[in-house]
């Protein structure tokens, strides 16, 4: 209560419209301005004058024996009273009252005055609150008592404002700001609030009582298919195949939950494919089939929690759970290979960021390029699936509004789940568990809020167990139904398969190396054709495909040590190494599988003429030659001795008619497959090989029969050969001699040794001996 010293004259000067005079006890109608007196609202006043004392009661005339809710003024000489209503107060009235009563929070709606003798009693309506002003213009020591049920609440002198607000509960009066009752087990409390209204507080719709009087936010974010349903029930849909931030919070800067999206049977629909927990610089990957990896290591989990970098990891038949518990925050991430649910228990007011906190945020702001492929944002379009009946799909999705799901509808809004269900299944076939996926996601969200939904699995013909549990597929695969309601297997993702389907191919081009050839087939494409890789072999039935357990790719290969029945063929410009992938012979008179017959080959193609040129005064010339994918180095080097140990250096002086030996040696060729044939060597006095004059030393692989000093050794027997001749110079020339040689590669299975005639006869052409003269090149043949 406050006693103003000035300004009361202002209130007195404000006259009402209908001032009434009463000389006896009276009942006044104040319905135009009902007063909430200490929490009880009244629309009538009972005013009586007894022995000079004036009492104003709200629930009947004053009686000391029975008591009541009354204002009792101890005065003398009162013979009459006046009543004046003020239904439309001025703003100045409210300002003046609030100056002295800081506890008044509501707006002044109306008030009235009761005056007697020299006293004025102003009672103000502030909605759930009320106040009074007891004022006198005469220095009389009068007192005013406020009574509730006959008991005195306050006693004030004149010239005083008093807040007469309060609350009533179970017959008791409570002042504003009082906690009337509180149950820490349920977090339910009853309070007389600051505006004198009874207020029952409890945990909010997204909160849960911890049993200690503290409510924590209890919310769930669901990511299923391409849809994110955030903690507020808002939805968004992912259209690409990138990684996104699902959850983070400023209070835990070293923790983040990411969602990775990929395509499946269609290129234009993406699905949640895996979940990554970023914890203190480590990545915990929750993947399809219940596989969990810590960075690059696979973890073995069971139903007993395993602590990994502060995260409890466990696995059961329904999926994998990762739980992080702190003093004021609990995060549980569940993933069954297709749906992720992030359950949060956190203090009220704490921030949730990522798509789970606000799914309507711009996706580009939450896209994580470091976890995404460079092509993840490319959009694809496919024709609509004419086999999908959207009406039936909608009916199926709307089961979420029927029993037993309906018992949860008041706590978990089914509409976002229905929207996610219809948007996906009106575009994508209801296979691979999708017919139950959205129903299962809603049922689990309900279970997190203590709704069991008894019988939902039998009513919907669904299972609570994870789909494709313990089946691990590679990055380019996903797990799906092999048969309706039957076995599962790994299928090729649509975008990955499209590059093979465009060429009607089952694998990658042949890889040809220096002494081997291999072809790799895609395991999931073979399964699409119902081909069992284990029954495939090369021409040699013992040469089988090797499957990579991680990628499921099947590789067939042969090399120089084991040709696996490869056939070597030649034409005028190529040497072809060919093998065939085929199904094994069956003794059965029938088969239900397609026969497989896939030819693959490597080709060596002879390049344009390659000439190694050097002046005789140089010690050696090395030229790097490339033919297809077989690279080799050809070295031409001169020596002064038959054992080829003393090389001709730039400082070596050669004499005319001195015998020298020239070695042509290769490095990088496999002698089990090919040999080197020196076809011709000749000398010129100019650098260009086709200049004149020209002197032949080797013709068609044989020594020039007109020069008895030329001897050829080892030609066509291996990957090197050599020849010798006596040094000479050109008559009248420059004094320089340039030696040029042309070499060929020849399949070793052929007789590659040139047939040279006796020295007295002119040599004949040996081109027919190695008709497959070829440089090495490899390519697919179909």
More confident residue, 53 or 593: 53
More confident residue, 549 or 516: 549
What is the structure's pLDDT at 591? 43
What backbone phi and psi angles, to 5 degrees, belong to 70? -140, 155
What is the structure's pLDDT at 7? 41
Q: What average pLDDT does the segment 585-611 reach? A: 59
Q: What average pLDDT does the segment 247-257 reach? A: 92
What's the rounded Cα separation, in Å, for the pair 562 and 544? 12
More confident residue, 6 or 438: 438
What is the structure's pLDDT at 585? 66
Buried b (16+ CB within 10 A) or exposed e, 225-249: bbbbbbbbbebbbbebbbbbbbbbb
What is the structure's pLDDT at 614? 34
Fold topology of 611-770? Immunoglobulin-like (2.60.40)
Q: What is the pTM of this model?
A: 0.63
pLDDT bin (cut points 50, 70, 90) of residue 329 is confident
Does the pLDDT of residue 593 top 50, yes or no?
A: no
pLDDT bin (cut points 50, 70, 90) of residue 609 is very low
What is the structure's pLDDT at 387? 94
What is the structure's pLDDT at 58? 96
Q: What average pLDDT does the segment 153-176 reach? A: 93
What is the structure's pLDDT at 340? 97
Does the pLDDT of residue 702 top 60, yes or no?
A: yes
Can you tell me which residue has the tokens 């193609």? 605
What's the rounded Cα separation, in Å, for the pair 714 and 361? 77
What's the rounded Cα separation, in Å, for the pair 25 and 51? 12
Least confident of 48-62, 375-389, 477-491, 600-614: 600-614
What is the structure's pLDDT at 766? 37
What's the rounded Cα separation, in Å, for the pair 164 and 148? 11
What is the structure's pLDDT at 361? 78
What is the structure's pLDDT at 615? 38
Q: What average pLDDT does the segment 755-761 reach? A: 66
Least confident of 570-579, 684-693, 727-736: 570-579
- Reported as a single tens digit per residue, the pLDDT across 646-673 is 988 877 787 888 999 999 988 877 777 7
Helices (H), 448-493: 456-460
What is the structure's pLDDT at 762? 41
Largest Cα–Cα separation, the chain: 168
Does the pLDDT of residue 611 top 70, yes or no?
A: no
On the question of a common fold for 495-605 and 611-770, the answer reads yes
Task: Output the CA torsion 69→74→80→85 (10° steps).
Answer: -50
pLDDT bin (cut points 50, 70, 90) of residue 136 is confident
Does the pLDDT of residue 621 top 70, yes or no?
A: no
Could you tell me the two tokens for 155? 């006693």
Peptide bond before 693: cis, by omega within 30 degrees of 0? yes
Q: What average pLDDT does the segment 332-355 reach? A: 90
In CATH, what is the architecture of 495-605?
Sandwich (2.60)
High-pLDDT (> 70) share of the chain, %: 87
Q: For the range 484-488, what are the long-range contacts, defined as Cβ-Cβ under 8 Å and sequence gap of 24 or more?
A: 484/431
Cα 218 to its chain centre, rounded Å, is 23
pLDDT bin (cut points 50, 70, 90) of residue 343 is very high
More confident residue, 717 or 11: 717
What residues does each domain of the chain span?
8-165, 215-371, 495-605, 611-770
pLDDT bin (cut points 50, 70, 90) of residue 724 is very high
- Reported as a single tens digit per residue, the pLDDT across 208-239 is 788 888 888 888 999 999 999 999 999 999 99
Least confident of 10-19, 325-334, 395-404, 490-499: 10-19
């Amino acid at each position: 209560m406050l006693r103003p010293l000035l300004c009361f004259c202002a209130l007195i000067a404000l006259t009402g419209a209908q001032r009434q005079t009463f000389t006896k006890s009276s009942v006044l109608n104040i319905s135009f301005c009902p007063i909430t007196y200490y929490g009880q609202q009244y629309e009538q006043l009972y005013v009586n004058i007894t022995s000079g004392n004036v009492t104003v009661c709200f629930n009947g005339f004053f009686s000391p024996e029975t008591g009541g809710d009354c204002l009792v003024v101890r005065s003398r000489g009162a013979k009459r009273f006046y009543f004046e209503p003020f239904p439309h107060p001025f703003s100045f009235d409210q300002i003046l009252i609030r100056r002295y009563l800081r506890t008044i929070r509501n707006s002044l709606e109306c008030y009235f005055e009761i005056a007697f003798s020299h006293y004025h009693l102003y009672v103000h309506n502030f909605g759930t609150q009320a106040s009074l002003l007891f004022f006198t213009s005469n220095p009389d020591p009068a007192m005013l008592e406020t009574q509730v049920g006959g008991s005195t609440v306050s006693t004030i002198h004149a010239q005083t404002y008093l807040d007469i607000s309060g609350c009533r509960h179970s017959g008791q009066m409570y002042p504003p700001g009082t906690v009337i009752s509180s149950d820490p087990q349920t977090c339910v409390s009853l309070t007389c609030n600051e505006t004198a209204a009874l207020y029952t507080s409890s945990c909010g719709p997204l909160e849960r009582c911890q049993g200690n009087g503290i409510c924590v936010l209890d919310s769930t974010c669901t990511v299923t298919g391409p849809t994110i349903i955030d903690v507020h029930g808002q939805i968004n849909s992912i259209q690409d195949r990138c990684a996104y931030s699902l959850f983070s919070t400023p209070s835990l800067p070293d923790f983040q939950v990411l969602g990775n999206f990929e395509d499946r049977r269609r290129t234009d629909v993406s699905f949640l494919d895996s979940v990554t927990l970023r914890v203190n610089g480590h990545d915990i990957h929750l993947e399809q089939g219940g596989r969990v990896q810590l960075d690059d290591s696979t973890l073995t989990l069971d139903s007993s929690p395993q602590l990994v970098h502060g995260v409890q990891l466990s696995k059961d038949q329904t999926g994998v759970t990762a739980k992080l518990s702190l003093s004021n925050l609990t995060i549980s991430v569940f993933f069954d290979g297709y749906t992720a649910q992030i359950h949060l228990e956190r203090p009220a007011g704490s921030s949730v960021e990522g798509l789970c906190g606000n799914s309507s945020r711009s996706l580009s702001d939450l896209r994580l390029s470091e976890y995404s492929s460079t092509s993840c944002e490319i959009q694809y379009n496919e024709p609509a699936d004419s086999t999908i009946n959207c009406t039936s799909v909608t009916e199926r999705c709307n089961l979420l509004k029927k029993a037993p799901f309906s018992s949860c509808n008041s706590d978990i809004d089914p509409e976002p789940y229905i929207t996610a269900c219809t948007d996906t299944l009106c575009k994508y076939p209801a296979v691979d568990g999708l017919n139950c996926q959205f129903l299962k996601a809603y049922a689990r969200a309900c279970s997190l809020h203590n709704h069991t939904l008894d019988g939902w699995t039998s009513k919907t013909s669904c299972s609570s167990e994870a789909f494709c549990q313990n089946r691990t597929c590679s990055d380019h695969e996903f797990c799906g139904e092999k048969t309706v309601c039957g076995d599962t297997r790994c299928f090729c993702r649509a975008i990955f398969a499209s590059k093979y389907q465009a060429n009607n191919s089952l694998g990658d081009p042949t890889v040809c190396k220096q002494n081997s050839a291999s072809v790799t087939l895609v395991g999931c494409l073979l399964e699409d054709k119902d081909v069992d890789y284990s029954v495939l072999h090369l021409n040699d039935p013992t040469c089988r495909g090797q499957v990579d357990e991680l990628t499921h790719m099947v590789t067939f290969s042969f090399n120089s040590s084991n040709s696996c029945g490869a056939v070597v063929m030649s034409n005028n410009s190529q040497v072809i190494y060919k093998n065939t992938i085929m199904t094994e012979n069956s003794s059965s008179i029938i088969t239900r599988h397609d026969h497989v017959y896939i030819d693959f080959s490597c080709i060596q193609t002879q390049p344009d003429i390659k000439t190694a040129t050097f002046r005789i005064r140089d010690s050696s010339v090395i030229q790097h030659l490339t033919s297809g994918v077989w690279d080799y180095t050809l070295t031409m080097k001169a020596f002064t001795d038959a054992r080829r140990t003393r090389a001709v250096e730039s400082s070596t002086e050669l004499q005319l008619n001195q015998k020298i030996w020239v070695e042509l040696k290769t490095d990088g060729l496999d002698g089990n497959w090919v040999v080197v044939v020196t076809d011709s060597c000749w000398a010129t006095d100019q650098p260009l090989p086709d200049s004149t004059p020209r002197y032949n030393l080797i013709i068609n692989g044989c020594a020039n029969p007109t020069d008895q000093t030329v001897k050829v050794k080892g030609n066509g027997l291996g990957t090197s050969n050599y020849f010798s001749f006596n040094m000479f110079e050109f008559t009248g020339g420059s004094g320089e001699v340039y030696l040029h040689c042309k070499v060929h590669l020849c399949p070793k299975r052929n007789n590659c040794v040139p047939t040279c005639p006796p020295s007295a006869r002119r040599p004949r052409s040996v081109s027919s001996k190695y008709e497959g003269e070829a440089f090495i090149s490899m390519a697919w043949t179909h």
